[in-house]
């Protein structure tokens, strides 16, 4: 078996569950979440192109697919812990940066480097593509929460409200151009 073939058989993210401290009707894996993020990125890129915004769709899609790859090792670190303090956030980010290369072991070096660069760029959040992934990440979160709330799971209402508030207040000019088409505000 080649290293690439072995790498392609690693389905770890399909078994890492998100929101692991909340009771759920519909458990969601990191792989599920990454798929929905990529789909939402595709929709956002289409809307951005319609309003004349230039965004590298392939780059944004690849970024969405790798944006949570470190969770293969760390799991889904719960938000209250992850954001407990600036020191905790920095420590988690440092470990993730040191370990992200392990995620892409078995791939050709240039491809692994490409994915690592995309992961780092998304984490920095400075480019439009990284920002599009951030918005897609929140929209995916809202979709998951809405699904849970619709079936009576009140544990997800606060998370939904916080995610929606973030998107309503997100002030990037490109987002302001398409936000009404998505949120209706």
Give the tens place of pLDDT for each residue, 103-158: 999 999 999 999 999 999 999 999 999 999 999 999 999 999 999 999 999 999 99
Burial annotation 118-132 (CB, 10 A radius, 16+ → b, else e):
bbebbbeeebbbbbb
From residue 115, alpha-carbon distances to 81, 103, 121, 169 in Å are: 27, 10, 10, 30
Would 185 be classed as within a structural domain?
A: no
Count of domains for the chain: 1
Query: What's the pLDDT score for residue 37?
Result: 98
| Domain range for 126 | 3-179
Would 52 be classed as within a structural domain?
A: yes
Does the pLDDT value for residue 78 go beyond 80?
no
CATH number at residue 97: 1.10.3210.10
């Amino acid at each position: 078996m080649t290293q690439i073939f072995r790498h392609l058989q690693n389905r770890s993210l399909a078994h890492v569950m998100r929101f692991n401290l909340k009771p759920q009707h519909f458990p969601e894996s990191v792989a599920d979440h990454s798929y929905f993020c990529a789909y939402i990125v595709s929709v956002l890129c289409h809307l951005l192109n319609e309003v004349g915004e230039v965004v590298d769709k392939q780059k944004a899609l690849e970024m969405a697919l790798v944006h949570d790859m470190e969770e293969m090792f760390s799991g889904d670190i719960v938000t209250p812990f992850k954001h407990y303090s600036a020191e905790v956030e920095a420590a988690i980010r440092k470990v993730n940066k040191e370990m992200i290369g392990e995620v892409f072991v078995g791939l050709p070096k240039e491809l692994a480097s490409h994915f690592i660069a995309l992961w780092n760029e998304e984490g920095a959040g400075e480019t439009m593509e990284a920002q599009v992934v951030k918005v897609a990440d929140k929209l995916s979160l809202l979709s998951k929460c809405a699904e849970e709330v619709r079936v009576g799971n009140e544990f997800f209402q606060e998370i939904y409200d916080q995610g929606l508030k973030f998107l309503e207040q997100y002030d990037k000019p490109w987002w302001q151009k398409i936000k009404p088409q998505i949120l209706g505000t």
